[in-house]
Structure 1
């Protein structure tokens, strides 16, 4: 990601390199990331935003920030860093994000799935795994839209994008056409279909408790809409890093919830993923359906002998765990359909 104190300037300078000029561009869409307080303030000084989008405040980077309140305060630096008269785009489903409204005296647009907001989705239907149909509502009107990406979190992100477009006075029908062409980035929820008759959701780029559970729910819902009923749902979850002192407890809670969602197999990889598996066991998941692996290589080798026709498999984990190696192993052994 080019979202850091080094990466962001490199992104901006791409508009002034290789013979390019900023006058050739209408809009720059830049990601600003943080893991410590003060980082977003610095990034906003480098590239002061006209529009700032806050997607959510989640229990990530707790190792460095300590509490969810500190995470919210650090993320709010983005709103404080807006240009005068700039627009804040806020997730109405997250009360900590919505509270940032008071930090900005300029225009605010909200988006949400569960809470009344300026930009919303209704009549939401999962057509199949990787395709959601819904009615998009904006202050400029409404339109029927489709999103070819899995999960309610991606739908929420799509509403954030629609809110940005709305702030630029783009019509709902135009937004809907653009959303139909959206695709998942590599390792970020991409649905892979193999010739052996099994399907893998590759969400191996990163993980946190909220994101993991959201994807597990997506896989369970997607499995129920498949034309041919799945034989098994398999969750392969790598350790979730940077969760601080509560890491073991957060892993255990996630494992317990995964068991309640009734997946068929749960495999944990590395470190505190052992607590994830233990949480599932305590919640009543049979010992024969859960397993812990010390390394991603061991998990990948085991999956090659385990996978069979009809399986629906989610692979997810923090970047440092490299659960993408599981995907690599599957692609080396099995042809894509």
Structure 2
């Protein structure tokens, strides 16, 4: 993070300095955190309120770890009655945005900075990781940790940048119209990519068309000198090309697509998967070069993410050979994204339970079915898809039917709100013990501990809030044939604690935004 004095922060945010001595030494911050456990000497601690906790309760802890200034919404005093040095503002999250925008402004004024914005209903984090991996070989690159993609996560990512940063990759999520426009106003992206529009969070947005409208805000924010990177295989994204004044570059897996006006197209030909489930295709660049790509990622659906990352890198000016070399070696960099573990007893565990929507659920199940060829049994352990609104029952019912049509051997529906998923599977023809419904992850864990056998493959998939990613971790690292132990439960509690900051990285107490 570039340095800010306490006085500069107060002036930029319109805040009031408290707990400081005007005649004393200047307070300067060199990093920032919203989690007191991540505070370091010289850091700014952002004490924001959240749904599950209040950062103001952790100001003392942050200062014990070396924080020198708090960005807070109220004055907080130490046990001796003296105020902690703070800038008190009306809204700490908005104040973070102001600081992030100022950092981007200063970095642009001082050097050659390229900012990339990435959004879409699925694949943002994987695409971000892939692109950052490519760009890091060409210059200092900053990208989000995990899925930092909201009004707190984006500023936290910007705070990681310094004077040497050449590429700033920003993941952008939204829970309502206007969110992406706000995030784009902070970082002023030069390049924007929209991966796709799905039905995830349709309940919050009021329908898929509203989701498309929100995702397209990224293209609207681009300058005329920028580039909109457009997924031509998604008709809603393709329609967004009329909403930007920027140059356009397309990516597609279709042999028939041709861009109007001769705009560049990056294309994947003969997309398939290997016997191990890895995406494989021929990558064609606008310069006429062709390259064979086999990615270490898992699942055909990652072809879109690989194409998007390649297209952005090519637009920036990376050489095709360098792009392809990176794509051939990059495995999943963020946790719980088609994360594959081979247990010593021959059971394969795929943990993809960080996020879920109808499209990503189907993609993961197709991958499970493909990988199940030659296996003893395939297991799908599925939790609730959240935020689908009035389509929730219908979408869960349809998903249960998809499980049966893909001939998945065993289905465990976890949680009270997956009853429609279970019913859909039964109505489609899943009888006896092929499909079961349980109330909680612990019940699912008992079934798996008793019934998993060598050469079985098991998929865990749910929305983040359902928590199946922790069950997936426990099963992946379980001692074969051992019953569920207190130690495993302790591991789950530790993982859950480690995944959350004092009040959540996205400003809402949640771990991410869609």
Q: Tell me the TM-score normalised to structure 1 length.
A: 0.93
Q: How far apart in 2 are the matches of 1:244 and 1:287?
A: 31
Residue of structure 2 equivalent to 1:303 = 448
Higher Cα radius of gyration? 2
- 1:301 deviates by 2.1
| Conservation of the 8 A alpha-carbon contact between 1:300 and 1:325 | no
- 1:130 deviates by 4.2
- 1:332 deviates by 4.3
- 1:129 deviates by 2.6
Q: How does 1:284-295 map to 2 (within 5 A)?
A: 284-295=429-440
Does 2:306 correspond to 1:166?
Answer: no
Residue of structure 2 equivalent to 1:135 = 282
* Deviation by residue 1:279-302 (Cα, 9 ceiling, x = unmatched): 111111223200111111211222
Q: How does 1:228-267 map to 2 (within 5 A)?
A: 229-267=374-412
Residue of structure 2 equivalent to 1:153 = 301
Q: How far apart in 2 are the matches of 1:9 and 1:106?
A: 24
Q: How far apart in 1 are the matches of 2:392 and 2:272?
A: 34
Residue of structure 1 equivalent to 2:170 = 30
Residue of structure 2 equivalent to 1:14 = 160
* Deviation by residue 1:187-220 (Cα, 9 ceiling, x = unmatched): 0011111101011111010111110011111111
Residue of structure 2 equivalent to 1:328 = 473
Q: SS at 2:270's partner residue?
A: strand
- 1:83 deviates by 2.7
Q: How far apart in 1 are the matches of 2:323 and 2:148?
A: 26
Q: How far apart in 1 are the matches of 2:230 and 2:453?
A: 43
* Deviation by residue 1:115-155 (Cα, 9 ceiling, x = unmatched): 62612212334223342322101102221111111112211
Q: Tell me the TM-score normalised to structure 2 length.
A: 0.61
Residue of structure 1 equivalent to 2:182 = 42
State the 4+ residue runs in structure 1 displaced beyond 4 angstroms: none
Q: How far apart in 2 are the matches of 1:183 and 1:239?
A: 27
* Deviation by residue 1:204-249 (Cα, 9 ceiling, x = unmatched): 101111100111111111233xxxx200011111100000011011
Does 2:242 correspond to 1:95?
Answer: no
Which of 348, 351, 356 lines up with 1:202 in the alignment? 351
Unaligned runs of 5+ in 1: 16-20
Residue of structure 2 equivalent to 1:116 = 257
Residue of structure 2 equivalent to 1:59 = 199
Q: SS at 2:433's partner residue?
A: helix
